[in-house]
Amino acid sequence: MGTQEPVVALNLMGLSMLNNDDFMPEKSVFWVDGIVGSFACLLAGLSIKRIPGRDLLVEVAKYIASKRMEQPVFILGGGLKTPRLTKLMKFAPVQIDFPWINSSDDINNFFLENFCANSIVFIAIASPKQEWLARVIYEKKSAKCICIGGALNMLEGIEKRPPEIISKLGVEWLYRLQHEPRRRLKRLLDSLFKGLKSLFYAKNIRKLKY
């Protein structure tokens, strides 16, 4: 939490964006989420523990509570329920509904004046839009952005937690296809080729921050 760079998942989607001009991997901090991210680290000669997004969210929320932070914590999404997150942090996040966007250019017009360098911003929208938004907020406001995708729904019980064996195998993405299967399958297929291709450049992962 000491650095201000965007925090994003190194999973299939994260790998697919490593060489994307709309993303800035060199200025991001990654956590490993999923079997593909673990395999990429293995190829890069790195041994990094894999952690599901919902578990990371719990750890960050507990950290925020322990620090008794005075600045507001924001969460960006649409119609989100946050009672468990509120209980963990010991105060409610400031929720901001995020409009529909089609490209990273649309984000440049997003209302940002509530954020500052001390802000913590959870972004609970789908990839790659959450990474686009994290880039804009970081570049314009230097706020700490944490891309949590669907982790909040898991934490709040809106989506069922996968069986323990599924989590250990690192294939939660397969289990989560039950929820919005059409959208998630399309996103999976869109990122599959680019993500697997990035494995051939796994040595470059050593340059990323973990």
The pLDDT of residue 201: 64
Give me the domain span that covers residue 160: 7-201
Give the helix, strand, coil percentages of the chain, each rounded to 5: 50, 10, 40
Note whether residue 206 is domain-resident: no
The sheet carrying 7-10 orders its strands as: 29-32, 7-10, 144-147, 120-123, 73-77, 94-97
Note whether residue 184 is domain-resident: yes
Q: How far is residue 136's CA from residue 181's CA, in Å, rounded to a whole number? A: 29
Name residue, tokens 């907020």. Answer: 137
The pLDDT of residue 11: 83
- Between 187 and 58, the more confident residue is 58
For range 166-189, the mean pLDDT: 72
- Between 116 and 199, the more confident residue is 116
Note whether residue 159 is domain-resident: yes
- Taking only the tens place, the pLDDT of each residue in 118-135 is 899 999 988 888 888 888
Partnered with residue 29 across adjacent β-strands are 7, 209
Note whether residue 148 is domain-resident: yes
Q: How many C-beta atoms surround the C-beta of residue 177 within 10 A?
A: 14
The total number of structural domains that make up the chain: 1
- Between 84 and 150, the more confident residue is 84
39 has pLDDT over 80: yes
Note whether residue 210 is domain-resident: no
Note whether residue 1 is domain-resident: no
Q: Using 50, 70 and 90 to split pLDDT, how confident is the model at 2?
A: low
202 has pLDDT over 70: no
The pLDDT of residue 203: 64
